[in-house]
Amino acid sequence: MKKASLLFTSIASLLLLALATPSFAAGTGKEVTITGEAKCAKCMLHQTDKCQTVIQTEGKNGKTVTYYLTDTDAAKGFHVTVCHEAKKVKATGIAKKVGGKRELAATEIKLVK
């Protein structure tokens, strides 16, 4: 009986670890600096129901990569600049994938001329 209990506990622990690992990995990101065109996801791209800044860059193979900025102080104050007109920007922050979308928690956003 002890062996069966130990086996069951071991299997349950491994299953719990396998389910928990992706959620821990999703919470982490890496700091990046991206340069691209900042736009409003609602007003210009018609992708969201509320205004949100996105930065579109050119990724590998020439495909457009869209980063959705999260509600950080830097992103909130900057949105007025790009709500109805795209601007070339350079942004630094923590990037991660959430639900198939790339998100950027921007700590700094600057206009590029």
Domains, the chain, with CATH or none: 30-111 (2.40.50.140)
pLDDT in tens, 9-25: 767 665 555 555 444 44
Question: What does each C-alpha distance from 65 to 10, 11, 56, 62 come to in angstroms?
Answer: 42, 40, 6, 9
pLDDT in tens, 45-88: 999 999 999 999 998 888 999 999 998 888 888 889 998 899 99
